[in-house]
A and B are shown apart, each in its own frame.
Chain A
Amino acid sequence: MAELHLAQRPGPGTVRAGWARACWARICWAVVAWWLMAGMWTRSSMSYRTSFVLMLLANLATTSLDFLVVVLMFRHTATLGGWTLPELGFLYGTSAFALGTANLFVGSVDALGNRIRTGTLDTMLVRPAPALAQVCAERFSLRRLGRPLQAAAVLGWSLTALPVHWTADRILLVPVLLVCGSVIFASIFVAGAALQFWWGDAGELQHSLTYGGATLLQYPPTVFAKELVAGTVFGVPLAFVNWLPALHILGRPDPLGLPAAFQYASPAAAALCVLAAALAWRAGLRAYQGAGS
């Protein structure tokens, strides 16, 4: 399958160019392929405009409910784990934004097990475009914008309500954590999907890391057992999505007492996640054997 991609990749020069250039060209081609297919799905869904608007509104309402639960909790208490409602709004907004953005771009990848079972993955593998880009763009839907939009609204509110002393590094950390958080969740989506090459039925397992992870990060780390928090720093690096940078932005002490460098380390964690997800995907794709039907 790898030879097929190589042969059909556009641009005759890339084959002879250096490894890095070839790699870069490959990534660009994957992004272009994703963009073209996502555009196609968007045009097709836009032909049912009313249905699209209704589903987007339903999506906005659904996603707002879990924040409503937090608000209702704060009707009974002033702080949760020592954190205030605007602080939880910050955690909620950043975590839900990162998950929602990742879901928008690559969320379709979690249907991989289904695709393997029905044999439609084989069709994708013979097309002259990277399989990962195709699987991620399949059934792309702007309806999934509902989640990041609602999260951004909550985040916007929390930023106005928080009594934060805004320094340059704190301001810079907000967009950095949003981008890195989205990349970390996207990597978890892809790595989780790659597991389905071996364990096709177990697609729901990754929900405990994606949706479960996002729920975890909506609450302050002080609420949870230290072992659990340590697991999100040194195991699955969820803490880098928002917990660690939020400690710095909100001026909160680290319950684990880690060095301050960890609070700036989200880009490094995101890069490692991408690497791990890419390796898992390649290994999965290599191990895959179609039924040939």
Chain B
Amino acid sequence: MAMAVQTGRQEGGGTAVYLAVAAGAFRRYATYRAATLAGTVTNTVFGFILAYTFLALWQARPGLGGYDTAQAVTYIWISQALLVTVAVWGGGFQDDVQERLRTGDIAVDLHRPVDFQGWWLAADLGRAAFHLLARGTLPTLAGALAFDLRLPASPLVWAVFLVSVALAVTVSFGLRFLVVLTGFWLHDSDGVRAVVLVVAMFLSGMLLPIGLFPGWLGSLAAALPWAAVIQTPVDILVQHRTGAAVATGLAGQLAWAAVLFAAGRLALALAVRKVVVQGG
């Protein structure tokens, strides 16, 4: 009964709570200026290195995979700009929950009159917004100054791209949520995280567009949720995906976001049954 009352009250102020959580996360990440600058420089350096390798590949094979040379170089810069935003390497809320699981603070989170999953999703979206601004803009600007990039002229493409990035963060959240929940059973999700990192880097198209993978590997990568994390938003921005393909891309992202969110909810319900909190 008490639960129902709380949930009822929450319905009214719900959105405001999540917005406050997201804003808090944004501000929290904005505090570490030196770290942000250092990270941005690293993204930019990697952008330069990888852009040159892509230039060499596309000089040898113009039009490879349906990308012209400018699109291929743009692909590299935008994927570097998104790397931290969509947390391909893991991190963001994952670090927090992992630590709270270790220390037992997770018990506090589970007692909050706010949905556990929604709370951390809001926090992660807030973090992603900061990272997109801080760690996305500078490398893209550097890339645009040094290389011939194919950035969209139409504001509509930019708007659709932003929607796609938000969906990508949600898909990535769903994946990281499942990984961190394995900690309820394994006590330490570091091992799983290390394996998922490998898979994510490769299958997201971060290192090479999925279209360039051979045969079955390409089909497999395109069918898995990691493609929705990097490949889809970047393809929308470089306009490799246009017209109806944009809609199917967004629909695919939305479907993965929903499926993973539901799977996370189910896993959480199972996990909570297992929690034994040591008092004191």
- B-binding residues in A (CB < 8 A): 51, 54-55, 58-59, 61-62, 65-66, 68-69, 72-73, 75-81, 199-205, 207-208, 212, 215-216, 219, 222-225, 228
Contact A228 B214 (CB under 8 A): no
- A-binding residues in B (CB < 8 A): 32-35, 37-39, 41-42, 44-46, 48-50, 52-53, 55-57, 60-61, 64, 191, 194-195, 197-198, 201-202, 207-208, 212-214
- Per a CB cutoff under 8 Å, which of B34, B44, B207 touches A201? B34
Contact B55 A223 (CB under 8 A): yes
Contact B42 A205 (CB under 8 A): yes
- Per a CB cutoff under 8 Å, which of B55, B64, B194, B214 touches A58? B194
A80-B56 contact in complex given A55-B191, A72-B214, C-beta closer than 8 Å: yes
Contact A208 B202 (CB under 8 A): no
- Per a CB cutoff under 8 Å, which of B45, B49, B52, B198 touches A62? B198
Q: How far is the CB of A31 from chain B (nearest CB, A)?
A: 31
**B56 surroundings in chain A (CB, below 8 A):** 80-81, 219, 222-223
Contact A208 B57 (CB under 8 A): no
Contact B49 A216 (CB under 8 A): yes
Q: How far is the CB of B135 from chain A (nearest CB, A)?
A: 11
A73-B208 contact in complex given A68-B202, A205-B41, C-beta closer than 8 Å: yes
What residue of chain A has the Cβ atom nearest to residue B188's Cβ?
A: A51
A219-B53 contact in complex given A54-B191, A58-B195, C-beta closer than 8 Å: yes
**A80 surroundings in chain B (CB, below 8 A):** 53, 56-57, 60
Contact A73 B198 (CB under 8 A): no
Q: How far is the CB of B60 from chain A (nearest CB, A)?
A: 4
Contact A79 B60 (CB under 8 A): yes
Measured in the bound complex, the distance between the Cα atoms of B198 and A59 in whole Å is: 9
**B202 surroundings in chain A (CB, below 8 A):** 65, 68-69
Contact B194 A215 (CB under 8 A): no
- Per a CB cutoff under 8 Å, which of B32, B49, B191, B197 touches A215? B49
Measured in the bound complex, the distance between the Cα atoms of B73 and A223 in whole Å is: 14
Contact A77 B57 (CB under 8 A): yes
Measured in the bound complex, the distance between the Cα atoms of B191 and A61 in whole Å is: 13
Measured in the bound complex, the distance between the Cα atoms of B218 and A75 in whole Å is: 13
Contact A212 B42 (CB under 8 A): yes
Between B39, B53, B197, the greatest number of chain A beta carbons within 10 A of the residue's beta carbon is seen for: B53
A76-B64 contact in complex given A69-B208, A205-B38, C-beta closer than 8 Å: yes
Contact A223 B34 (CB under 8 A): no
**A207 surroundings in chain B (CB, below 8 A):** 42
Q: How far is the CB of A255 from chain B (nearest CB, A)?
A: 13
Measured in the bound complex, the distance between the Cα atoms of B201 and A77 in whole Å is: 23
Q: How far is the CB of B177 from chain A (nearest CB, A)?
A: 21
Measured in the bound complex, the distance between the Cα atoms of B39 and A221 in whole Å is: 25
